[in-house]
Amino acid sequence: MTYEYIPQGVCSKRIKIEIEGGKLVSAEFEGGCHGNLQGICSLVRGMDCDEVLRRLEGINCRGKGTSCPDQLSRAIREAQRQA
């Protein structure tokens, strides 16, 4: 399943994820801190979605109440609901 998510409250403009068999096959951000987001996407590639959620959910960037990693977890949750 491929899913696109529009993040809120962060610098990135779009998150595209692919999930197969409960694993995050790929994640790609449009906008935001390119190097950091490439690193995050590389680290979570192939990881079980529940583990990604456990690690990234609730991370806060500069008091915004969210962050790009948190928004990735929200994208995964939303994709899981629609599956």
Does residue 27 have a pLDDT over 90? Answer: yes
Q: Whose CA is closest to 31, among 51, 16, 42, 48? A: 16
User: How does pLDDT run across 34-73, given as a tens digit for each residue?
Assistant: 999 999 999 999 999 999 999 999 999 999 999 999 999 9
Does residue 4 have a pLDDT over 90? Answer: yes
pLDDT, average across residues 12-22: 98
What is the distance between the alpha carbons of residues 70 and 7, in angstroms, rounded to a whole number? 9
Burial of 72 (0-12, 13-18, 19+ CB in 10 A): buried
Share of the chain above pLDDT 90, in %: 99
Does residue 83 have a pLDDT over 90? Answer: no
pTM of the model: 0.96
Domains and CATH numbers, the chain: 2-82 (3.30.390)
Q: For residues 46 and 24, is the Cβ–Cβ distance under 8 A? A: yes
Q: Whose CA is closest to 68, among 79, 77, 78, 57? A: 57
